[in-house]
Structure 1
Amino acid sequence: MEDGAMGKKIRNYLGVPMSVAAALMANGLLTTPAVSQEQAPAYPSRPKPPADAPNILVVMTDDVGFAASSAFGGPIPTPNLDTLAANGLRYNNYNNTAMCSPTRAALLTGRNSHSVGFGVISEEASPHDSYNSVIPDSAATFAQVLSMNGYDTAMLGKHHNTPLWEITSVGPFDHWPNGLGFGYFYGFIGGATNQFAPALYENRNGLEAPQDDPDYILDKDMADRAIDWLNMQHGIRSDTPFLMYYAPGSAHSPHQAPPEWIAKFRGQFDQGWDKMREQSFARQKKLGVIPQSAALTPRPDEIPAWSSLNADQKKVYARMMEVYAAQLAYSDYQFGRIISQLKENGEFDNTLIIFIEGDNGGSLEGSPQGTVDEIARGKNRMPDDLQDQLTHLDDFGTRYSWNNYPAGWAWSMNTPFQWGKAVASHLGGVRNGLVVSWPGHITGEGQVRSQFTHVTDIAPTIYEAAGVEVPEEVNGAKQMPLAGTSFAYSFRQPQADSRHKQQYFELRDNIAFYDEGWLASTKPRVMPWDKEAPPAEGTPVEWELYDLSKDFSQSKDLSKRFPEKLEELKSEYAATAKQYDIGVSPNEKRVERPFISNGQRHFVFRNSPHRYSRYGFPTIMNRSWTVTADIVVPEGEGDGAIIAQGSRLCGWGLVIENGVPVFRYNASIEDRDKTTVTASAPLSAGRHKITIVFDYDGGGKGKGADIDMRIDGKSVAQGRVPRTPGFLFVSEGGATIGRDYGTTLSPSYEAPFIYPGTINQVVIDFPE
């Protein structure tokens, strides 16, 4: 009895030995204390979601204009989105922020992008609160809120809302998907990645795509992972709702797709962008996704007429569009696999699906001429020309190209609107197709809804559908109010008035203000294909005025007819800009971001399968540096990479080929921008030190450099880099020590190119 539960209870109650307590009980001098059920210990319980809470699937594609997919009258077949729309609702008045990071920050939080640090994309961040790329604790994401209410959460795909200096293997991880409320993450962090050799993460751990699978592609891999997570969640907790945020990188550049999918579109765009725009416009009216009264806006002068192009230009540009179409169509196919699995699991009917076709309009960043290497052209100031594009024609759509189509195709993808991505002042930049599916909870399946909606409305809509309250405090942080308004009312009220009455738009000094149908817009002052499209400081601001209640496509400027109305909206915008702290130039007071090389001049790395992200590795651009490798060469085969960053599109590294040290520096995809410095003889077995001295010319970004290779202290080879990338390396796999993964620095060897000898250390030094 001494070890029994009752004995322990009595002893604990009296604080006396059990034998004494037993004697007292035998003489009726003691009774056992009553223990109520409320006093019994219990494990902490997991929050329970509201009764009948649905599953939530949010999908956001990338750089897909309003008129790209067939669901909204476009030329690219998206049968799975079409089916979803035919049994759900299409929204033709849904608006984003005109660019990746700001749209995604507003989507996740339900707040305006400037309120959560994303007035620009993360790569353009500056210390000002509205532009610092740091989502504050006071703006919890819908993943955090639903997790607090018992949902299982997952995110797959592109995450473009982590401050660059936090993208390291040691964190901090507060703004990685896991830190923002997603229990599971699989995808990439940043603006874009190579579909065939992506820089992958699973939760917080870097992964390498299969190196020996010639058919590997990210869109399929991501759908596989999504299906696996859905099945796992269904098997473990089928009675618990899930939230999945599925954000493929398609169809952002680089435009890439399986070759058999590209072949499907051969010749389908030979008519050119002017004719295609007319064809899409007719389909849109027939489908009912735009009003019969809508006007087709004219082509801007900055984009050439298709008829003005020569035969080679038409050949190249049509091919670029074929690849883009294949990528979007292939992404839709993978999405269809996810829908099929939901149905197989019996979850489809209880799932609210919010599918946003694009985070902004079609991308104009490829320039009027298009490009085989957008990073080189747009960021590193190394443009390619038509002859380069003809030379690389067979590379389009493969891992060996970072192609983006000409701006004419982007403009056509945004039919019937003006302009495109990055132009927040015009609907071509901010208007995207939205499809909602929720069986049994909508009226008028297949109909079009025209209420004004904004990306900030998604989170409030999710909360209303899930039956959860917006918390006043999350993890000790008082929450700022939501900026958006739920549009769940429109599910059953097709003719209801819009509840989102006003909305500002601002990106890189392109400004618009919406007020119950009226839209005041500034004329674009900098073309989106100019280098990162910096703010047009000093350029006069011209305003336009549109009545969108009568002019769906923003085609008739009424500023001269209604000057008082224009001044009223300009004043409204000024007050809003002050409220949301808008207008501080992203370049104003820009300071060196806190990357790891700031102030540090000596870095020691060891051989490891670990991949260092672009921003978790010393910044070697626009400066002099040395790299010294202390290695032991084995007897026999000793080939492999000692250090590698980037790829053959743009990158550098020290490798051993046929026993000989080779330094490779690829400033762009073009042969003219590739430098190779090779030792004259193989290394003997044993320990050696190989040093590369990179002597930068100075005098600005992207200048040249002299190269000196030294082995065991002796200079053995020299070379010259005529120009360098001044902004970034195409760093799909980051930097690695002891191996070269993915799209390797050279076609002379294949991935994974792993050094078989000993690497004691690799040291990078920067001079004083």
Structure 2
Amino acid sequence: MKKSFLFTALLAILAFSSGNAQENSSQQNWPDRTVLPIEPYQKVGKVAPTIKDSDPIDWPKEISAPEGAPNVLLIMIDDVGFGASSTFGGPVPTPNFDALAKNGLKYNRFHTTAVCSPSRAALITGRNHHTAATGIIMEFSTPYPGYNSLVPRSVATIGKILTDNGYGTSWFGKNHNVPDWQSTPAGPFNLWPTGLGFEYFYGFLGADAHQFRPALFEGTKPVDPYFKEEKVDPDYILDRDLADHAIHWIQTQKNVSPNKPFFAYYTPGTAHAPHQAPKEWIAKFKGKFDQGFDKQRIATYENQKKLGIIPPDALLAATPPEYQKWDALSPGMKKVAAREMEVYAGMLAYCDNQIGRVIQSIKDLGELDNTMIIFIMGDNGASAEDPTGQGLTSEIGIMVNGEVDTEEFMLKHLDDFGGPWMAEHYSQSWAHAMNTPFQWDKKIASHLGGSRTGMVISWPARIKQTGQIRSQFAHITDIVPTILEAANIPQPKKVDGFDQTPMAGKSLVYSFDNANAPETHKTQYFEVIANRAFYKDGWLASTTPKNLPWQGHPVPSEDPVKDYKWELYDLTKDFSQANDIAAKNPEKLKEMQKAFMEEAEKYKVFPFDDRYIDRVNPENRPNLNKGRTRFTYHQGTSRITEGMAPNMKNTSFSITAEVDVKAGQEGMIITQGGYFAGLALMLQKGKPTFAYAFSHYPNHKWRIQSPTALTAGKHTIVVNFDYAGGGVGKAAKATILVDGKKVASGDIPKTVPSRFSADETLDVGEDFGTPVDRTYDAPFTFQGKIEKVTIDLKS
């Protein structure tokens, strides 16, 4: 017994000593910020069966941000070129961007990937976009590792890193980083903002949003803030709504946890098409652009020199001959083009105004001094996605579905530009003017017009050489490393058990105190849609664009490696990429081309693919609908994106609705798309009605309606849509049957060939967004009961 007692006591002493050693070791290693998430640390003494025999114990210590870590407001605007904002010499007044520049630093050699989703993936991960599996926008993804749109777990976002390091984190506005087939309310949600580590999300998924009727989510829940008491609120606008939510979130963070830093990623859809803004803001620019885009480009270039935004010896790069010339427009189309730019300017200026409200709220909280604000004016260069040269009244209708605007229609509806019933995009040459002094535009990753945008960093507590310009090479992958260094947080090595791919970007903190500090980001590849370039120590090798920015359906190359010519620029002497010196430096060009191919292999850029809209077919991606010809929906189903909805284009189909109504009841049964292209089956004053819109033009809207209303009770309504065949976008005949009896039919001379919408969805029992035609308005909630709606696709 004595031996047993002594042996037990010895084991207890050894265990206690070992426990203390492990505890001391844990305390010394805590927190290890390279391995996330970080478990709370708790020092535990004696724990006995009773409280009186146990040691006092502290609560577990949860992770908090490093002492002195700043708040961070990361802002990125959409489709704004280097030469648009007044801050960088452009014609659009952006006083809040100006004020940040005055109190911070302007970066005039900052680069994006040249297109939306890739830039956004690089921005929030610090890795090259192909490493984040986002070599192209989500809707055009392909199965290759660099293009499949499934951000790997080895590529943690800044939201995840900062949340796990004790920050409060949020995301407001555009998210174009959810795979096309995962963007419905059915999930999965692991690649939505809240799945990527951001604690709060309020915004939209996809490429763009209607400013007056956006398809928004709060977290993963659909919300419709533009409805007020079951009617559309005429005063609603998205940019103000985003600012309101950001202000409220920031105030809540600081009201409740004043010592906890916040990270807010603020990324409105402005100024991506559709260009829409409050009427009073558009009116501010009346007549300001009557001189045209050619003269505006020259005026911006001269102003950039005057302001020191570009060097005194910088040239104005020649406008490629393919762009529309102002003098080639008719007098009527000059009025149209000028109005388009007035709308764009009003939209961008209003967005800057709303961002100013967010910044003022931070100042009012006394937090501005220790808030690092990074403001990127453009996720790529301005968008020249206008195939006509005169602008578009609907990007989907004209660029994607191949319609052509008429001068008569555009002039007649000039006052509607910027409002809810137009979804216009400005002329390709306005985009080019907004990219002054560079050549080319969005999508052209080989040239600075596509990749270079203005950026400002302000942090009053840290940046003292305010109002200055920094000209070191900077890239969108540099933002996450900059934030981490500013917060004294290391780049993680392991997150949620997954080893992390090292970040490609370099912190810009080194540039804060020294305008002449040697740049640390010495090499960088660029590639989007086979347009490619390579930067190294001031040199830039670029492919000559084979397809124009506005070509939605370019003829793909048989060999995109060999089919592209290359150019060479010495950017240390040629700021604006104006002088191609490839012919004089063949060996240097070969060196750069070889280096590009090495980087392309390393970062999963292969295979090059210069297709564009032809990739959009949802059949090209994982899809729960593959092989499925019957779809059944129930009342309340909504926000089914086009990639996950039945593909009712270029085919015959039927819609069968089983309803139970009282006499005279009305409302939406099922709809897809909206005013700019869409279809709907509904009851209007009790009458079964099928509406179809090829575009927003009055002669592109067709209605087939029963002459009599439904009687009270249960009914089966069928629409047979018989497609003529023989290609895409051909004619069809629609026939309505009620309880097996034909009640109406009509011809639809042309149908939507490619896409109903970039943002509007399939909804049952209500119509969210815009109506298919203006004989009704959203939400047009169904007043009776819908048992189910079945769609049958036919060959």
Q: Distance in 2 between matches of 1:182 and 1:534?
A: 40
* CA-CA distance at 1:673 after TM superposition: 2.2
1:74 corresponds to which residue? 90
**Residue 554 (structure 1) aligned with residue 570 (structure 2):** no
* CA-CA distance at 1:645 after TM superposition: 1.7
In 2 relative to 1, CA 533–98 (structure 1 residues): closer, same or farther, beyond 3 Å?
farther
In 2 relative to 1, CA 421–286 (structure 1 residues): closer, same or farther, beyond 3 Å?
same
**Residue 100 (structure 1) aligned with residue 119 (structure 2):** no
Q: Distance in 1 between matches of 2:694 and 2:328?
A: 33
1:329-728 pair list within 5 angstroms: 329-367=349-387, 368-531=389-552, 533=554, 535-538=556-559, 540-586=563-609, 592-608=620-636, 610-635=638-663, 637-728=664-755
The answer to whether the Cα contact below 8 Å between 2:324 and 2:428 also exists between their aligned partners in 1 is no
1:302-317 pair list within 5 angstroms: 302-317=322-337
Secondary structure of the corresponding residue to residue 115 of structure 1: coil
Letter of the 1:621 counterpart? K
- The count of aligned residue pairs is 735
Secondary structure of the corresponding residue to residue 225 of structure 1: helix
Select which of 303, 308, 329 maps to 1:288.
308
Letter of the 1:185 counterpart? F
Q: Distance in 2 between matches of 1:735 and 1:308?
A: 42
Letter of the 2:213 counterpart? A
The answer to whether the Cα contact below 8 Å between 2:473 and 2:519 also exists between their aligned partners in 1 is yes
2:106 corresponds to which residue? 90
Q: Distance in 1 between matches of 2:577 and 2:443?
A: 17
Residues 356-380 of structure 1: CA deviation (Å, up to 9, x unaligned): 0000000010232211011112212
Secondary structure of the corresponding residue to residue 597 of structure 1: coil
Select which of 267, 272, 280 maps to 1:252.
272
Q: Distance in 1 between matches of 2:770 and 2:728?
A: 26
The answer to whether the Cα contact below 8 Å between 1:372 and 1:392 also exists between their aligned partners in 2 is no
Letter of the 1:156 counterpart? F
Letter of the 1:689 counterpart? T
* CA-CA distance at 1:456 after TM superposition: 0.5
Q: Distance in 1 between matches of 2:145 and 2:59?
A: 42
State the TM-score, normalizing by the size of structure 1: 0.93
Letter of the 1:692 counterpart? V
More displaced 10-residue stretch of structure 1: 396-405 or 610-619: 610-619
2:35 corresponds to which residue? none
More displaced 10-residue stretch of structure 1: 748-757 or 588-597: 588-597
Residues 40-78 of structure 1: CA deviation (Å, up to 9, x unaligned): 4x6554311111000011000000000100010000000
More displaced 10-residue stretch of structure 1: 132-141 or 378-387: 378-387
1:3 corresponds to which residue? none
Letter of the 2:625 counterpart? S
Letter of the 1:647 counterpart? G
1:204 corresponds to which residue? 220
Residue ranges of structure 1 left out of the alignment (5+ in a row): 1-29
In 2 relative to 1, CA 284–404 (structure 1 residues): closer, same or farther, beyond 3 Å?
same
2:15 corresponds to which residue? none
* CA-CA distance at 1:530 after TM superposition: 0.8
In 2 relative to 1, CA 202–425 (structure 1 residues): closer, same or farther, beyond 3 Å?
same
Letter of the 1:383 counterpart? V
Letter of the 1:281 counterpart? Y
1:15 corresponds to which residue? none
* CA-CA distance at 1:574 after TM superposition: 1.3
Secondary structure of the corresponding residue to residue 615 of structure 1: coil
Letter of the 1:598 counterpart? K
1:260-275 pair list within 5 angstroms: 260-275=280-295
1:27 corresponds to which residue? none
Letter of the 1:87 counterpart? N
**Residue 738 (structure 1) aligned with residue 765 (structure 2):** yes
More displaced 10-residue stretch of structure 1: 702-711 or 586-595: 586-595
Q: Distance in 2 between matches of 1:471 and 1:321?
A: 45
1:35 corresponds to which residue? 54
CA RMSD across the alignment: 1.9
The answer to whether the Cα contact below 8 Å between 2:701 and 2:773 also exists between their aligned partners in 1 is no
Secondary structure of the corresponding residue to residue 590 of structure 2: helix
More displaced 10-residue stretch of structure 1: 229-238 or 754-763: 754-763
In 2 relative to 1, CA 489–533 (structure 1 residues): closer, same or farther, beyond 3 Å?
farther
The answer to whether the Cα contact below 8 Å between 2:184 and 2:639 also exists between their aligned partners in 1 is no
Give identity over the alignment, percent: 47
Select which of 170, 188, 211 maps to 2:186.
170
The answer to whether the Cα contact below 8 Å between 2:104 and 2:468 also exists between their aligned partners in 1 is yes
Residues 113-132 of structure 1: CA deviation (Å, up to 9, x unaligned): 11111111111101111111
Q: Distance in 2 between matches of 1:443 and 1:210?
A: 43
* CA-CA distance at 1:733 after TM superposition: 4.0
Q: Distance in 2 between matches of 1:704 and 1:592?
A: 25
Secondary structure of the corresponding residue to residue 322 of structure 1: helix
Letter of the 2:766 counterpart? R
The answer to whether the Cα contact below 8 Å between 2:530 and 2:609 also exists between their aligned partners in 1 is no
* CA-CA distance at 1:584 after TM superposition: 1.1
Letter of the 2:150 counterpart? V
Residue ranges of structure 2 left out of the alignment (5+ in a row): 1-48
Letter of the 2:141 counterpart? A
Select which of 164, 167, 189 maps to 1:151.
167
Residues 386-408 of structure 1: CA deviation (Å, up to 9, x unaligned): 33322332221111111000110
Q: Distance in 1 between matches of 2:671 and 2:346?
A: 31
* CA-CA distance at 1:542 after TM superposition: 1.1
The answer to whether the Cα contact below 8 Å between 1:102 and 1:113 also exists between their aligned partners in 2 is yes
* CA-CA distance at 1:313 after TM superposition: 1.2
* CA-CA distance at 1:244 after TM superposition: 0.4
The answer to whether the Cα contact below 8 Å between 1:596 and 1:617 also exists between their aligned partners in 2 is no
Letter of the 2:767 counterpart? D
State the TM-score, normalizing by the size of structure 2: 0.90
Residues 153-208 of structure 1: CA deviation (Å, up to 9, x unaligned): 00000000110001111211011000111100000000001000000000000011
2:210 corresponds to which residue? 194
Letter of the 1:705 counterpart? A
2:320 corresponds to which residue? 300
* CA-CA distance at 1:613 after TM superposition: 3.2
Residues 643-684 of structure 1: CA deviation (Å, up to 9, x unaligned): 122211111101111221110011111223222111122222
Secondary structure of the corresponding residue to residue 677 of structure 1: strand
2:3 corresponds to which residue? none
Q: Distance in 1 between matches of 2:138 and 2:298?
A: 36
**Residue 56 (structure 1) aligned with residue 83 (structure 2):** no
Secondary structure of the corresponding residue to residue 114 of structure 1: coil
The answer to whether the Cα contact below 8 Å between 2:540 and 2:570 also exists between their aligned partners in 1 is yes
1:759 corresponds to which residue? 786
Letter of the 1:139 counterpart? V
Letter of the 2:364 counterpart? E
Letter of the 1:434 counterpart? M
Letter of the 1:413 counterpart? M
* CA-CA distance at 1:384 after TM superposition: 2.1
More displaced 10-residue stretch of structure 1: 437-446 or 496-505: 437-446
Q: Distance in 2 between matches of 1:587 and 1:417?
A: 22
* CA-CA distance at 1:597 after TM superposition: 2.1
More displaced 10-residue stretch of structure 1: 517-526 or 393-402: 393-402
* CA-CA distance at 1:583 after TM superposition: 3.1
Secondary structure of the corresponding residue to residue 720 of structure 2: strand
Q: Distance in 2 between matches of 1:249 and 1:147?
A: 25
The answer to whether the Cα contact below 8 Å between 2:115 and 2:380 also exists between their aligned partners in 1 is yes
Q: Distance in 1 between matches of 2:666 and 2:53?
A: 78
